[in-house]
Chains A and B, each alone.
Chain A
Amino acid sequence: MSALIGLEVGQVVERDIALSRESLVRYAGASGDFNPIHYRDDVAASVGLPGVLAHGMLTMGVAVQPVVDWAGPERVLDYQVRFTRPVVVDPETGAALHVVAKVGQLGEGTARIDLTVTSAEQTVLGKAQVVVKTDG
C-alpha cells in the first residue's frame, strides 16, 4: 500500500448524492434499523416530523464516500459527525445531498478531512470530520 503524497490543506473534492425512498428501505434492510419514521409517512407525521426522514447513519454513511474513494476505505481511522438537521425524503423527488470534502489539517502520518454536507442549501451534519492515514 503506497502512501498518500502531495496532499495540501485546502484541497477539495465535491459530490452530489441522491437519496430516494428506495435508498431508505435499502439502508433499513442492510443496517437492521427498521424505525418506521424512515419509511412510513403516517408514523413520521404522528410523531410531529415534517415527513419521512433519512436515517442519520445513512447520511453519515454516504457522506464519507468521496473520502473513501480517494483515500481507500482501509485508511479511515476516525470518523465523527453531529446530526444537526433532519433530511426529509420526498416520496416522489427524494432528497439531494451535496458533500464538500476539504483537507483541513495535516498531521504525523494522518490528514483530517472536513466534510460540509448540505441538503436544500442547509447544513445537515455538524463537526463532520474524517481522519485518514496518509503513510505506509
Chain B
Amino acid sequence: MPVNPEIQGRQYPPTPPYLVGREKVREFARAVQAEHPLHHDVDAARAAGHADVIAPPTFPIVIQQLTWNQLLDDPAAGIVLERIVHGDQRFTATRAIVAGDELTGQLTVTRVRSLGGNDMVTCETRVTDAAGEHVVTATSSLVVAGEPA
C-alpha cells in the first residue's frame, strides 16, 4: 500500500509529557561524543545560568520519535517502518532543552508527494514545555520506498 496522500495536513494529538532526566541527558551526550561540560556538569550549567545540564542539539529526536510512532501506528497512513529511509532532518530551537523539562511533541504531516515510485513524507514536530512555550521544532523528510512490483 502506498502512503495515503490524504494524510497531508493531518495533525496528531500531543504526546504525553516526557520528563527530561539528568542522566538521560548525560547518556545521550556520551552517545553522540558530546564532551562539553554544560551537558555533564550541573555546577557548570548553573554557573552559566541554566537550571540543570542542557541537552545536545539533536536530543529533540527522542521526542520526535515518539510522534513518528503515532504516524506508524496509524493504519490509514500506510507507512511501514522497514520501508522508511531518513531523507533529511532539521532542528529549529527557541532555547536549549534542560534536564527537568517536561516536553510534549505534536506532529503535523506537512507534505506527501510521490517521487519515482517512492513517497516522500515531510513532517514537523513542534516541541513545547510544561508552560506551553515553544522549545524546538523538528522537521524531517522520510522517504518511504514503494512496494516491489
Q: Which residues of B contact A29 (CB under 8 A)?
A: 27, 31
Taking a contact as CB atoms under 8 Å apart, the answer to whether B57 and A76 are in contact is yes
What are 21 contact pairs spanning A and B, CB under 8 A?
A1-B48, A17-B33, A26-B30, A27-B32, A30-B27, A31-B31, A33-B61, A33-B65, A56-B89, A57-B86, A64-B57, A64-B58, A69-B35, A72-B36, A72-B38, A74-B48, A76-B57, A77-B93, A79-B57, A80-B91, A83-B86
Q: B92 an interface residue at 8 Å Cβ cutoff?
A: yes
> Besides the contacts A1-B48, A81-B90, A130-B57, what 5 more A-B pairs have beta carbons closer than 8 Å?
A1-B49, A17-B33, A23-B33, A30-B27, A31-B61
Q: Is B135 an interface residue (CB 8 A)?
A: no
* B62 CB-CB contact with A under 8 Å: yes
A56: nearest chain-B partner, CB-CB = B86
Residue of B39, B61, B92 near A57 (CB, 8 A) is B61
Residue of A whose beta carbon sits closest to that of B39: A73
Q: A30-B28, A35-B81, A57-B86 are in contact. Are A74 and B65 (CB under 8 A)?
A: no
B54 and A73 within 8 A (CB): yes
Residues of B within 8 A of A (CB): 24, 27-28, 30-36, 38-39, 48-50, 54-58, 61-62, 65, 81-82, 85-93, 95-96
Report whether B61 and A76 are in contact in the complex, using a CB–CB cutoff of 8 Å: no
Picked from B24, B58, B89, the residue with its CB within 8 Å of the CB of A83 is B89
What's the dominant secondary structure at chain B's contact region? mixed
Knowing A62-B32, A62-B33, A69-B35 are in contact, say whether A31-B91 is a contact too (CB < 8 A). no
Query: With A and B bound together, what is the CA distance between A50 and B81 in angstroms?
Result: 19
Minimum CB–CB distance from B111 to chain A (whole Å) comes to 16
Residues of A within 8 A of B55 (CB): 73
Closest Cβ of chain A to B56, distance in Å, is 6
Q: How far is the CA of A30 from the CA of B24 in the complex (A)?
A: 7
Q: In the complex, which residues of chain A have a beta carbon less than 8 angstroms from the beta carbon of B36?
A: 65, 68-69, 72-73
Q: Is there an interface contact between A61 and B58, defined as CB atoms closer than 8 Å?
A: yes
The CA of A1 and the CA of B33, in the complex, are separated in Å by 24
CB B45 to nearest CB in A, in angstroms, measures 9
Contact (Cβ within 8 A) B88 A74: no
> Pick the contact of A73 from B31, B87, B96 — CB < 8 Å?
B96
Assess the A80–B31 pair: CB atoms within 8 A.
no
- In the complex where A47-B82, A68-B56 touch, is A78 in contact with B93 (Cβ < 8 A)? yes
- Which of the listed residues B33, B50, B56 has the most CB atoms from chain A within 10 Å of its own CB? B33
